Structure 1
Amino acid sequence: MAVSITAALLVIGDEILSGRTKDKNIGYIAEYLTGIGVDLREVRVVPDVEEEIVAAVNALRSRYTYVFTTGGIGPTHDDITADAMAKAFGVGIDHDPRAVAVLRERYQPHELNESRLRMARIPDGADLIENTISKAPGFKIGNVFVMAGVPAIMQAMLDKIAPTLKTGARMLAETVEAEGLAEGNYAEGLAEVASAHEGVSIGSYPTFSTSGFRNQIVVRGKDPAAVARAVSAVQDLLGRLKRDGVPL
């Protein structure tokens, strides 16, 4: 049986919870990890409050293979993620000579003030994550990867992280169009199909447009044969309902 490699994402920032900033990272990270064979199992959003970050990190890192965080590693007073990580792991934190050297590549000596040097504060024992865009690094401590919240920078960091990750079998997804049938028509039969096919997950996803409802049934799994059997069963169910003239 294939080993499952799991992950959680911790989004850090008051601005996300207030709605001022619209998160653009969750969907990207979920799709990225799925594509390389890492199962994203949980996403949490916490404010810029040290005890909230520490509690979430410690809960997630003991439960999943990897934890990814976004946000809170900038130069301002409310960027407290690095300090919270040090506290969560029970280690010290200080200006890391490696990170300081990286920042010196970007800033002139007179520009590298105390605020910018905050971005070089790294927990003891952590490895740096290269930032090819703005230089200020992220870091890895234990099984936790600490990344920037700015989408372009986060994406660049994730590209650097990905080759270092253990991965499992990739998730397969097949979509079946439930054309002409409402969810209520096939819900009971779909539950029976799902119960009869272990190792796959089956979901029904309606969307609405000016032309009306469109219902899609998605079968997900890591075993191609199991996915194919479930897809066939779903297609048989829908075909049977249509032949029976189930009302819309």
Structure 2
Amino acid sequence: MTGQQADDVVTAAFLVIGDEILSGRTKDKNIGFVADYMTSIGIDLKEARIVPDETDEIVNAINALRAKYTYVFTSGGIGPTHDDITAESIAKAFGVPLNLDPRAVALLESHYAPGQFTPARQRMARIPEGAELIENKVSKAPGFKIGNVHVMAGVPSIMQAMMDAIAPTLTTGKKMMSETVSADMPESRIAERLSAIQDAHPQTLIGSYPKASEGKFTTQIVIRSRDEDVLLAATKDVAQAVAELSG
């Protein structure tokens, strides 16, 4: 369930933070999840970036993305170790202090056994001033939201739980609908017709995806639109073009 629906398109960017992703040591599983999630709730994911654990890189990316899109979501770099620098980088991007947040401290103190809330773990309670906490039902260490930026953990199960927690607060747009037409021919044979259909139906996005199997080329054509009538009209034109070229 999400918040209110906007008349205009709602956009987002996803920023993955971490040297371990860029080195290949950890395989990213979050970009695909966020792309699917955004599509399902009516938000257009327009950009995904991966940056290293370097303050200036994070600050520059955050400031560029938050000025360009309705929402920015990040994953990675908010753990207890010395190289988890996302929180301090976000604070720097917004020009606010980073302090131990009493709400986060209370959450984590109640989670750990007496004496186990170590200085390293206390790092997870550092939140930029003015930020709202994002609930973490998996391991309790919260994410946070400041401005239009949502900062979440890198561990997929935790990030996904945080996304579920913030979804009701998001303004969403009208969902994109899609239809698929299969063409028993190579992409090149139908490309010109698809271009003309796209021009005739500017409210659609038409993508063609070729496949090859045992020397035979086929094409899957996906038509997308937020308007059902436009979608059906464009799909009918694509199906007709396929039939004519097949004949």
TM-score by length of 2: 0.95
Match of 1:75 in 2: 80
Q: Distance in 1 between matches of 2:47 and 2:178?
A: 19
Match of 2:166 in 1: 161
Gaps of at least 5 residues in structure 1 are 244-248
> Is residue 2:142 matched to residue 1:142?
no
Q: CA deviation at 1:90?
A: 0.2
1:123 to 125, 128, 133: 128
Q: CA deviation at 1:79?
A: 0.5
Deviations 1:157-196 (A, max 9, x none): 0001000001110011111111x20111111111111111
Q: CA deviation at 1:37?
A: 1.0
1:103 to 100, 108, 118: 108
| Worse-superposed segment, 55-64 or 185-194 | 185-194
Deviations 1:104-155 (A, max 9, x none): 1221132111111110000000000000000000000000000011111011
Q: CA deviation at 1:209?
A: 5.2
Match of 1:242 in 2: 246
TM-score by length of 1: 0.94
SS of the aligned residue for 1:195 comes to helix
Distance 1:208 1:27, change over 3 A: farther
Q: Distance in 2 between matches of 1:153 and 1:59?
A: 26
For the 8 Å contact 2:187–2:218, the answer to whether it is kept is: no
Gaps of at least 5 residues in structure 2 are 1-5
SS of the aligned residue for 1:204 comes to strand
| Worse-superposed segment, 81-90 or 221-230 | 221-230
Q: Distance in 1 between matches of 2:134 and 2:171?
A: 17
Distance 1:44 1:177, change over 3 A: same
Match of 2:3 in 1: none
Match of 1:152 in 2: 157
Distance 1:236 1:142, change over 3 A: same
Kindly, what percent of the aligned residue pairs are identical?
A: 59
Match of 1:202 in 2: 206
Higher relative contact order at CA 8 Å, sep ≥6: structure 1 or structure 2?
A: 2
Q: CA deviation at 1:206?
A: 2.3
Q: Distance in 2 between matches of 1:240 and 1:214?
A: 16
SS of the aligned residue for 1:62 comes to helix
2:10 to 5, 8, 13: 5
SS of the aligned residue for 1:75 comes to coil
Deviations 1:65-114 (A, max 9, x none): 10000000001111100000000000000110100111112211321111
Superposed CA RMSD in Å reads 1.4
SS of the aligned residue for 2:138 comes to coil
1:60 to 56, 65, 70: 65
Q: CA deviation at 1:213?
A: 4.5
Match of 2:45 in 1: 40
- Between the two proteins, the alignment pairs up a number of residues equal to 242
Residue identity matched to 2:209: Y
SS of the aligned residue for 2:209 comes to strand
Residue identity matched to 1:123: P
